[in-house]
Amino acid sequence: MTLDIRGSIKNTKLSTNPYVVFEELLSNAIDSYLIRKASDPHAPDMHVEVEVTFVPAGLDENQEDMIVSCQDNGCGLGDEQLKAFLTKDTSYKDDLSISGIGQCKGAGRIQFFHHFSELLLESTYPDESSFTERKLHYLEPQKQIEAENFSSTPANRGRTGTRITLKQLKPFVHARVMRGDELSSLFSASALKKNVLLTFLQRLIGLDSSLGEFEINFSSQHWKKDAQNSTLKRSDLPNVTTVETVTAEEYNPATGERVADPQNFKISHYKLDAKLYDLPKNSIALCAKSSPVKDITSRYLRSKTEQNNPVGDYHHIILIESDYLDLRVNEQRDDFECIASEFMPGDMFSPDGISYAAIYDAIDPVIQEMVVPADWKKETVLKVVSNHFGISEDMLRDTSTRIVYGDTPLAVAERVLKKYQERVIDETAEIMSLKDEITRSEPDSDDFREKINELSWKYTASLKNIDMANLSQLIVRRAAIVQILDLACGKNLVMQNVDSDARRKDERIIHSIFFPMRKDSSEVSDHDIWLLSEEYHYYDYIASDLPLSKLTWDDGSKIFSEDVDQEIQNILLKRADENGGKRPDIAIFSKEGSAIIVEFKAPGVQMDEHIGDLQEYAYLLNAKSGGKLKKFYGYLIGDSVNTLRVGGSWTKFPMGNGWFLSSALNDPESGVKLGETYFEILHFKDVIERAKKRIGVYQGKLNLKLDFQEEDS
């Protein structure tokens, strides 16, 4: 029998858990006691002494080394235990059939050799009618440990059990695993007790009376500091607050078929009064063999402050256990193997079983109820998700996306859109497959129209997924534009907060919200002329504050030409020449002969002084277009008007503060009818109100509760 130290270190990875040596020592001590108790029902209660001595590392007293010792009153290192100690992949404990002893591969003690260069083992065990003391002294660079390396001598009847002492902590372990932290802080007596309570809580409670009225004593000594002592007793163990069992299931998102057997997970919640339990942190962990393995606290308590302090005056320990996890814990017992992050359809390399995503789907709702702070409101996150990203509650339900404590609105939006993207990809692949089948089918076959119907339904379903996201984004974007316009009209944008001597740009700002200045629709496709009317968004050509002579259709041809009827041209050319430099703020044209003229007036400017501008623009555009533009819609928009100067021909709107005028466009000199006009004088607040009502219809259909104004306040 030989334990190959170098080979074992090579084939067993260094654990990332800084307390792994203490946990392995204590775990072995518990197992050893249970073995003794099974053969001797009258054995005394379990008693374990854990001692840590901090010594200077070399001659430099600014650096620490430590000596770790663990003394138990277990069964001792008899012949069977010696065989197990010298066997790397042992099944010794598996065959004992003793309640509370978990399956074991014998890899835990390899961490002793990873961490320390020297090991002393002293054990007393009953040998028939007498007692034997067995000792081992291991010191690097010794490569192997064999049975011959142990000394065995008769011993007087004394304390049965084993003491393991570890010396010379390896510097690279201190740097890599302990991250260079002060050893005397990490492994003080009080710190060790707290860590053991967190780590062994479930196992100690599960063993119930098997350990008796146990005591685990911790002591630490430092060459410069006072000694510390702390004890963990059975009476220190809290009662479990809540135990719930959930079932995790994995389904193929494309087919809806179950891809693995369902697995049960037990969630044990310990809610500990912070005044009674001075713990260093909250702990939520996936467990194996009743011991925490994978810490997932940050999934539910996102900040370090929340993780390391009481939540609502309580520390929380939540332990998740499952046979599924027991079978997949790695040798270092600091993670699990062969559990995928999420199930990927069609991935031939995907491990068998359910994924972490399926596990979290099952346990998240339960744990969130256990640890969420009282001041956290899901509705607050939902509101931002809806306002900023256009994600409605219907979309959350449709994609089975939950908002959990610690979620950012961006994270929620990303999860929803990712699920829609995956659906679209899967559905597109199905559509392409159907298209291929259709191209190979015969139009006079019986299944031809069946395939066509199937394709149309699948295509319609995919459009729903695509359009749901796109339409929601559009509505949220428009709501934001309306809010910005509202702020600009009230001079409440940050950029409008200028010194009194600076030139104001209020009209320019408002103008640019509708349509970028000095641009046309050949350059800009992203604009917001819909604020006036939805149909204007789709006119053939839009120009903003550009010289009329430069305006062209999308095919490059001029909108306006000098070719007009000679009889009318002589009259109009003079007016057109005089106003050659005059142009509307925004002009919108259709090839059917209609034009929309928009004229903005800065807040405070009297609109009644510019009523004639609309009529002038109509004459001008009619003349310049050679009479092709005959229908003119004009908007004069501002916030100030002297109602006494608005002529009697204007009609006031039943709702709002604006007026409208519909009349023929006649040449004032010849009386010849040139076209028709429809003009409106509008207040900015009326335009804003109209826009809000339009997007409100879509908001209602999408169940988007947008309220930028309330959020800003």
**What are the pLDDT digits (tens) for 175-226?**
999 988 999 999 999 999 999 998 999 899 988 789 999 999 999 999 989 9
Confidence of residue 709 (pLDDT cuts 50, 70, 90): very low
From 370, 390, 414, the end of a domain falls on: 370
- Confirm whether pTM is higher than 0.75: no
Q: What is the model's pLDDT at position 567? A: 33
Q: Is 631 helix (H, G, I), strand (E, B) or coil?
A: strand
Confidence of residue 457 (pLDDT cuts 50, 70, 90): low
Confidence of residue 535 (pLDDT cuts 50, 70, 90): confident
Domains held by the chain: number: 4
Confidence of residue 376 (pLDDT cuts 50, 70, 90): confident
Q: What is the mean pLDDT of residues 479-492?
A: 80
**Cα separation, 442 vs 448, whole angstroms:** 7
**Per-residue DSSP letters for 466-528?**
HHHHHHHHHHHHHHHHHHHHHHHHTT-SGGG---TTSPP-HHHHHHHHHS-TTEETTT-----
Nearest alpha carbon to residue 318 among 300, 303, 341: 300
User: Does residue 547 fall inside a structural domain?
Assistant: yes
Residues facing residue 492 across a β-bridge? none
Q: What is the model's pLDDT at position 166? A: 98
**Cα separation, 246 vs 181, whole angstroms:** 39
29-31-34-38 Cα dihedral, nearest 10 degrees: -130
Quote the distance between the C-alpha of residue 292 and its chain's center.
Answer: 24
**Cα separation, 390 vs 406, whole angstroms:** 20
Confidence of residue 471 (pLDDT cuts 50, 70, 90): low
Q: Is residue 311 located within the same domain as residue 423?
A: no
Q: What is the mean pLDDT of residues 324-330?
A: 90
pLDDT at 328 over 80: yes
Q: Is the torsion defined by CA of 370, 371, 376, 377 positive or negative?
A: negative
User: Does residue 210 fall inside a structural domain?
Assistant: yes
Q: What is the model's pLDDT at position 572? A: 38
**Tokens at residue 266, please?**
């037990």
pLDDT cut 70: percent of the chain above it: 80
Q: What is the model's pLDDT at position 570? A: 40
Contact 675, 631 (CB under 8 A): yes
Confidence of residue 137 (pLDDT cuts 50, 70, 90): very high
User: Does residue 695 fall inside a structural domain?
Assistant: no
Contact 333, 325 (CB under 8 A): no
Max mean pLDDT among 30-39, 501-510, 538-547 falls in: 30-39
User: Does residue 689 fall inside a structural domain?
Assistant: no
Q: Is residue 210 located within the same domain as residue 82?
A: yes
Q: What is the radius of gyration, based on Cα positions, of the chain? A: 40
443 vs 631: which has the higher pLDDT: 631
558 phi/psi in degrees, rounded to 5? -70, 140
pLDDT at 397 over 90: no
**Tokens at residue 508, please?**
């320019």
**Cα separation, 247 vs 233, whole angstroms:** 34
Confidence of residue 479 (pLDDT cuts 50, 70, 90): confident
Residues 404-451 pLDDT 10s = 777 888 888 888 878 777 776 676 676 677 667 656 666 666 666 666
Q: What is the model's pLDDT at position 710? A: 42
Q: What share of the chain is helix, strand, coil (3-state, %, to 5)?
A: 40, 25, 35
Q: Is residue 591 located within the same domain as residue 668?
A: yes
User: Does residue 44 fall inside a structural domain?
Assistant: yes
**Cα separation, 317 vs 295, whole angstroms:** 11
68 vs 636: which has the higher pLDDT: 68
Q: What is the model's pLDDT at position 470? A: 62
Q: Is residue 179 located within the same domain as residue 46?
A: yes
Contact 326, 288 (CB under 8 A): yes
pLDDT at 338 over 70: yes
Contact 631, 594 (CB under 8 A): yes
Confidence of residue 644 (pLDDT cuts 50, 70, 90): confident
Confidence of residue 711 (pLDDT cuts 50, 70, 90): very low
User: Does residue 495 fall inside a structural domain?
Assistant: no
Q: Is residue 315 located within the same domain as residue 396?
A: no
Q: Is residue 584 located within the same domain as residue 442?
A: no
Rounded to the nearest integer, the mean pLDDT of the chain is 81
Residue 573's identity, in one-letter code, is L
Q: The CATH number of the domain where 28 resides is what?
A: 3.30.565.10
On the 0-12 / 13-18 / 19+ scale of CB atoms within 10 A, 398 is middle
Residues 42-58 pLDDT 10s = 999 999 999 999 999 87
623 vs 184: which has the higher pLDDT: 184
Q: Is residue 167 located within the same domain as residue 248?
A: no
Q: Is residue 452 located within the same domain as residue 526?
A: no
Residues 239-285 pLDDT 10s = 999 999 999 998 876 677 888 889 999 999 999 999 989 888 999 99
Q: What is the model's pLDDT at position 524? A: 66
Which residue segment(s) compose the domain that 429 sits in? 377-489
Mean pLDDT check: name the lowest of 144-148, 420-424, 570-574.
570-574
Q: Is residue 71 located within the same domain as residue 172?
A: yes
Q: What is the model's pLDDT at position 463? A: 54
Q: What is the mean pLDDT of residues 614-630?
A: 80
Q: What is the model's pLDDT at position 22? A: 96
Q: What is the model's pLDDT at position 555? A: 60
Q: Is residue 544 located within the same domain as residue 652?
A: yes
**Cα separation, 189 vs 110, whole angstroms:** 24
From 339, 370, 401, the end of a domain falls on: 370
User: Does residue 300 fall inside a structural domain?
Assistant: yes
381 phi/psi in degrees, rounded to 5? -65, -40
Max mean pLDDT among 134-148, 393-407, 648-662 falls in: 134-148
Q: Is residue 285 located within the same domain as residue 324?
A: yes
Q: What is the model's pLDDT at position 184? A: 94
**Tokens at residue 228, please?**
């510390």
Q: What is the model's pLDDT at position 562? A: 44
Residues 70-107 pLDDT 10s = 999 999 999 999 998 988 777 677 777 787 775 555 57
pLDDT at 364 over 80: yes
**Cα separation, 417 vs 428, whole angstroms:** 16
Q: What is the mean pLDDT of residues 480-508?
A: 78
User: Does residue 660 fall inside a structural domain?
Assistant: yes
Q: What is the model's pLDDT at position 238? A: 92
From 424, 454, 489, the end of a domain falls on: 489
pLDDT at 657 over 80: no
565 vs 264: which has the higher pLDDT: 264
**Cα separation, 173 vs 20, whole angstroms:** 12
pLDDT cut 90: percent of the chain above it: 33
Q: What is the model's pLDDT at position 257? A: 81
Q: Is residue 382 located within the same domain as residue 455?
A: yes
Q: What is the mean pLDDT of residues 293-308?
A: 89
Length in residues, the chain: 713
